[in-house]
Chains A and B, each alone.
Chain A
Amino acid sequence: MTSTIATVTAAPLPGAVLPGAVPADGTFTQAWLLIALPLLGAAVLLLAGRRADRWGHWVGVAASAGSFVVGLLLLIGLLGRDAEDRVLDLHLFRWIPTGPLDVDAGLRIDPLSLSFVLLVTFVGTLIHVYSVAYMEHDVDRRRFFAYLNLFVAAMLVLVLADSYLLLFVGWEGVGLASYLLIGFWNQHTPNAVAAKKAFVANRIGDLGLLIALMLMVATFGAVDFDTVLAAAPGAGEGVLTAMGLMLLLAACGKSAQFPLQSWLGDAMAGPTPVSALIHAATMVTAGVYLIVRSGPIFEGAPTAQLVVVIVGAITLLFGAIVGCAKDDIKKALAASTMSQIGYMVLAAGLGPIGYAFAIFHLVTHGFFKAGMFLGAGSVMHGMDDSVDMRRFGGLSRYMKITWLTFAAGWLAIIGFPGLSGYWSKDLIIEAAFTGEGWRPWVFGSAALLGAGLTAFYMSRLFFMTFHGRRRWDDGHGAEQDVAAAPVRHPHEAPLLMVVPMVVLAVGSVALGGLLALGDGFVTWLEPVTGHVEHHEPVLPVWLIIALTMLLVLVGAFLAWRQYAVSTVAVPAPAGSALTRAARRDLHQDAVNDTLLVQPGQYLTRSLVYGDRTVVDGAFTGLGKVLVGAGDAARRVQTGFVRSYASTMTIGLVVLGVVVLATRI
Chain B
Amino acid sequence: MNLEGLPLLTVLIVLPLVGAVVLWALPAGLRERVRTVAVVVTVLELVVGLAALTAFDTAAAATHQLTETHPWIPAIGASYAVGVDGVGLLLVLLSVLLTPLVVLASDRTTAGSADRLRHYLALVLVLEAFMVAVFAARDVFLFYVLFEAMLIPVYFLIGVFGGVQRRYAAVKFLVFSLAGGLIMLVAVIALYLQGPGGPEGFLTTRLTGLEMPVLTERLLFLAFFLAFAIKAPMWPVHTWLPDAAQNATAGTSTLLVGVLDKVGTFGMLTLCLPLFPDASRWAAPVIIVLAVVSVLYGALLAIGQQDLMRLIAYTSVSHFGFIVLGIFAFTSVSVQGSALYMVNHGLSTAALFLTAGFLVSRHGSQRIADYGGLQKVTPVLAGTFLVAGLSALSLPGLSTFVSEFLVLVGTYARSGPAAVVAVIGVVLAALYVLIAYQRVFTGPVRPELAATPDLSGRERWVVAPLIALMVVFGFYPAPMVDLVREPSQGTLQQVGVDDVAPTQGLLVGTGTDDEGSTT
Contact with A along B283-298 (1 / 0, CB 8 A): 0000000000000010
The residue on B at minimum CB distance from A617 is B239
Residue of B nearest to A196 (CB): B434
Residues of B within 8 A of A645 (CB): 182, 185-186, 189
B68 contacts the other chain (CB 8 A): no
Asked whether B305 is an interface residue with its Cβ less than 8 Å from the other chain, the reply is yes
Contact string, B166-198, partner A, CB cutoff 8 A, digits 1/0?
Answer: 011001101110110011011001000000000
- The answer to whether B167 touches A663, judged by C-beta atoms less than 8 angstroms apart, is yes
Segment with Cβ contacts to A, from B92-100, B256-264, B418-426: B418-426
In this assembly, does B65 line the interface, its C-beta being within 8 Å of a C-beta of chain A?
no
Question: How many angstroms from the CA of A75 to the CA of B370 in the assembled complex?
Answer: 55
CA distance A332 to B485 in the complex (A): 53
Contact A93 B476 (CB under 8 A): yes
Is B390's CB under 8 angstroms from A649's CB? no
Q: Residue A186 at the B interface, CB < 8 A?
A: yes
Chain A residues whose C-beta falls within 8 Å of the C-beta of B413 in the assembled complex: 217-218
Interface flags for B387-398 (1: CB within 8 Å of A; 0: not) read: 000100001110
Cα(A608)–Cα(B514), bound, Å: 49
B206 to chain A minimum Cβ distance, whole angstroms, is: 21
- Nearest chain-A residue to B373 (Cβ)? A187
Could you tell me the distance between the alpha carbons of A209 and B176 in the complex, rounded to whole angstroms? 40
Q: Is the CB of A210 within 8 A of B423?
A: yes
Find residues 464-518 in chain B having any chain A CB closer than 8 Å to their own CB. Answer: 475-478, 481-482, 485, 489, 499-505, 507-512, 514-516, 518
Contact stretch, chosen from A55-63, A458-466, A652-660: A652-660
- Asked if A227 CB lies within 8 Å of chain B CBs, one says yes
Q: Are B304 and A608 in contact (CB under 8 A)?
A: yes
Over the window 419-459 of chain B, the binary record of Cβ atoms lying under 8 Å from chain A Cβ atoms (1 yes, 0 no) is 11001101100110011001001111100000000000000
Assess the B438–A196 pair: CB atoms within 8 A: yes
| Contacts A99-B332, A646-B186; A235 near B434 (Cβ below 8 A) | no
Please indicate the chain B residues that have their CB under 8 angstroms from the CB of A5 in the complex.
Answer: 508, 516
Measured between beta carbons, the chain B residues less than 8 angstroms from A1 are: 512, 514-515
Does B406 sit within 8 A of A, measured CB to CB? yes
Binds B, one of A165-173, A377-385, A504-512: A165-173
B interface footprint on A79-102 (CB within 8 Å = 1, 0 otherwise): 000000000000001111111111
- How many interface residues does A have (CB within 8 Å)? 81
Task: Name A210's closest neighbour in chain B (CB-CB).
Answer: B423
Let me know if B174 and A219 touch, CB within 8 A: no
Give the residue name and chain of the A residue nearest to B413 (CB). A218
Contact pick for A186, options B189, B333, B375, B431, CB 8 Å: B375
Q: How far is the CA of A97 from the CA of B485 in the complex (A)?
A: 8
B424 touches A207 (CB 8 A): yes
Instruction: Report if A576 contacts B (CB, 8 A).
Output: no
B519 at the interface (CB under 8 A from A): yes
Q: A8-B510, A203-B430, A664-B167 are in contact. Are A100 and B420 (CB under 8 A)?
A: no
| Chain B residues with CB below 8 A from A193, complex form | 438
Partner of A234, one of B300, B383, B508: B508
CB neighbours (8 Å) of B419 from chain A are 214
Given contacts A98-B333, A234-B508, A616-B239, contact A200 B427 (CB under 8 A): yes
Q: Nearest B residue to A143 by beta-carbon distance? A: B379
Q: Is residue B236 contacting chain A, with contact meaning CB distance below 8 A? A: yes
**Residue-by-residue, is A120-138 near B (CB-CB < 8 Å gives 1, otherwise 0)?**
0000000000000000000
Instruction: Encode A1-23 as 1/0 by CB contact (under 8 A) with B.
Output: 10011001100000000000000
Shortest A476–chain B CB gap in Å is 36
A217 to B412, CA, bound (A): 9
Assess the B502–A221 pair: CB atoms within 8 A: yes
A227 to B504, CA, bound (A): 11
A100/B426 contact (C-beta < 8 A), A214-B412, A214-B419, A231-B504 known: no
The chain A residue sitting closest to B165, CB to CB, is A663
Known contacts A95-B476, A207-B427, A210-B408; is-contact A100 B300 (Cβ 8 Å):
no
In the docked arrangement, what's the CA distance between A419 and B397, Å?
41
CB of B95, distance to nearest CB on chain A (Å): 24
Q: State the A residues within 8 Å of B (CB).
A: 1, 4-5, 8-9, 46, 93-102, 105, 143, 165, 168-169, 171-173, 176, 179, 183, 186-189, 191-193, 196, 199-200, 203-204, 206-207, 210-211, 213-215, 217-222, 227, 231, 234-235, 239, 603-605, 607-608, 611, 615-616, 618-619, 623, 643, 645-646, 648-649, 652-653, 656-657, 659-660, 663-664
7 A-B pairs with least C-beta separation: A221-B502, A656-B175, A192-B442, A214-B412, A608-B304, A186-B442, A616-B239
Instruction: Report B's interface with A, CB cutoff 8 A.
Output: 167-168, 171-172, 174-176, 178-179, 182-183, 185-186, 189, 235-237, 239, 297, 300-301, 303-305, 331-333, 336, 373, 375-376, 379, 383, 390, 395-397, 401-402, 405-406, 408-409, 412-413, 416, 419-420, 423-424, 426-427, 430-431, 434-435, 438, 441-445, 475-478, 481-482, 485, 489, 499-505, 507-512, 514-516, 518-519
Q: List 26 A-B contacts (CB under 8 A).
A: A4-B508, A4-B512, A5-B516, A96-B477, A96-B478, A97-B485, A99-B333, A99-B485, A173-B397, A187-B444, A192-B443, A207-B423, A214-B416, A214-B423, A219-B504, A221-B516, A221-B518, A604-B301, A608-B305, A645-B182, A648-B185, A649-B182, A649-B183, A656-B171, A663-B168, A664-B167
